[in-house]
Amino acid sequence: MESRTSASITSGKFEQREQKRRSLFSHTWKEFIPKVFEDVPQYYRSGNIVASLGLWELWVWQFINTIELRPGYQALDVCAGTNDVGIRLLQKQPDISVTAIDRSKEMQAEGQRRAAKYHVKIKSIVQDVHTLPFPDNSFDVITLQAASRHLQLDKVLPEILRVLKPGGHFYHCDMLKPSTPMVEWFYLRFLRMSVAWTALLFRSTEASRNCGEYFKDAIQHFYTPDELSEVFRLVGFAKVTCRTSIWGGMVGFHDSQKAG
């Protein structure tokens, strides 16, 4: 198979794609995913390491290395989960303030336990991230890692842009739709199997054991790295750049700014 050339993402196409994602996954996002995140907090990091054959730590390390921090920065971690990113940001630059927002109280409870373990302070807010409870121009840095596949991007990205300070950076990292059809074919099948064996290994609940098909479908209907760059530009982000993993863009690292 030959490489796929991404079609240009216009405003109309972006709206259609998001409407299709909602029609396919809105029930799963509302009813199914919260139950998964009730189950996984204590083994979330180790489960991701197992499911990715050890590559998870490499991806997180690469993501943190893309983030520029200065003393006094106000940072927001969207869909913060167990605060893995926030903890690493504070280890990289202790003289910043980190706020975590996530709708899962179970994930954030584990995140606060982990923050205490590493002797860092992270402000926790449990709320749906599609509406951010902050004034305009509040944060110097906003991060979103390993969660955008489960979100309505046409709602959450404008909110992130709104609360980002002019000149501030939005850093994004997630598993994306590979740009190469052959890589995508193998990747989606591997993903379904890896989620299944990880759930079995960690004796997950039924909700987690049954999520393999959803995770495959979520990637299949998501965006390639280049498409997601275009989406960020459409929303209003400036200076959008993207680095990808070497496996056909399975993981992308985006850096963008709010025009100052």
* Domain spans of the chain, in order of start: 22-257
Residue 158 has pLDDT above 70, yes or no: yes
Q: What is the largest CA-CA distance in the chain?
A: 50
Give the separation between CA 120 and CA 70, rounded to whole angstroms.
Answer: 17
19, two tokens: 């409407």
Amino acid present at 23: S
Residue 212 has pLDDT above 80, yes or no: no
Contact 252, 176 (CB under 8 A): yes
Indicate the pTM of the whole model. Answer: 0.91
Instruction: Specify the fold of 22-257.
Output: Rossmann fold (3.40.50)
User: What digits encode the pLDDT tens for the residues 91-129?
Assistant: 999 999 999 999 999 999 999 999 999 999 999 999 999
